[in-house]
Amino acid sequence: MIRLWLCATALWVLAAPVFAIDHDNVDGGRPLRFDDAEAIAFRERAIEFGLAAYSPYRRGGLGAAFSTEYLYGFAVNSHFSLDLDSSVGARGGSGDKRFDVGNVGLGVFHNFNRETLTTPAYAVRADAYLPTGRGTRGVALRLRGVMSRTFQQYNRVHVNVDANLQTSTRGGDRSFSPAVTVGFTRPLGYPTYFNRTGLAEIGVRASEESGRGAIFYGGVGIRQQVTVRSALDLGARSDFAATNRNAARDNVTLVAGYSTQF
């Protein structure tokens, strides 16, 4: 009986990492903008927290954004998300330093297939952001197509194509703005360590302001597994160039996040 108990305990310990959070699984916004094509496991739940400090380029002021997101794997290869993004500080140098509870977001993510030797993994993500924040109007919609592909054994590239639609805009703002992001992930420390992933991205998006051209952005980050069920994200990203010098963009944004699954 003792031997049986010891064997069962050993099997449980060895099997535990199978159910652990995957530090190599990337979620948009923590710490960089792009998603990979993997959904969370069926019937699994996750809570993710994020903190971003930003400095608007040539517009003055500093600010911080706080995000909380709940995910639930409601079906095989599919999950639902509920998120809230709050902020404090001024974008655009307005001088308004009040706390803003932000917009509530609802989303659905679906992975179509597992990656094979000849086929990348494909997924789609749809989000709707309700106008609950101060001064917002209309519903913001985003449809994102995702492709993830492994190369050179461990490295992965992730292509995200976004279609953003704002149902109600202020004068001078775009109602539709596309974006393309190319992300890169690589496990760090292999074959000695198996708990850390490096990330990088580069992309281009249409300015939210009509007639202000395109904005180019990039970033680097790291995901570190802290416990079996949690991971820490750290990153930095920047809108480093624009086709129109007057386009509103962020100089540098520093991001920290924490994710836990249960």
pLDDT per residue of the chain (262 residues) written in tens, 0 to 9: 445 444 444 443 344 444 456 667 888 888 999 999 999 999 999 999 998 887 766 555 678 888 999 999 999 999 999 999 888 865 544 445 667 778 899 999 999 999 999 999 999 999 999 988 877 788 999 999 999 999 988 899 999 999 999 998 877 789 999 999 999 999 998 888 889 999 999 999 999 888 889 999 999 999 999 998 899 999 999 999 999 988 888 888 999 999 998 8
User: Domain residue spans in the chain?
Assistant: 2-261
Say which CATH class 2-261 falls into: mainly beta
Six-digit token string for 260: 């836990």
Long-range contact set of residues 245-248: C-beta below 8 Å, sequence gap at least 24: 246/212, 247/207, 247/209, 247/212, 247/213, 247/215, 248/56, 248/57, 248/59, 248/91, 248/92, 248/207, 248/208, 248/209, 248/212
pLDDT in tens, 144-173: 999 999 998 889 999 999 999 999 887 778
Smallest Cα–Cα separation from 21: which of 190, 192, 227? 227
- Tell me the average pLDDT of the chain: 86
Give the C-alpha distances (Å, rounded to integers) separating 60 from 101, 209, 225, 241: 22, 18, 36, 17
pLDDT in tens, 222-262: 999 999 889 999 999 999 999 998 888 888 899 999 999 88
Bond into 56 cis (ω within 30):
no
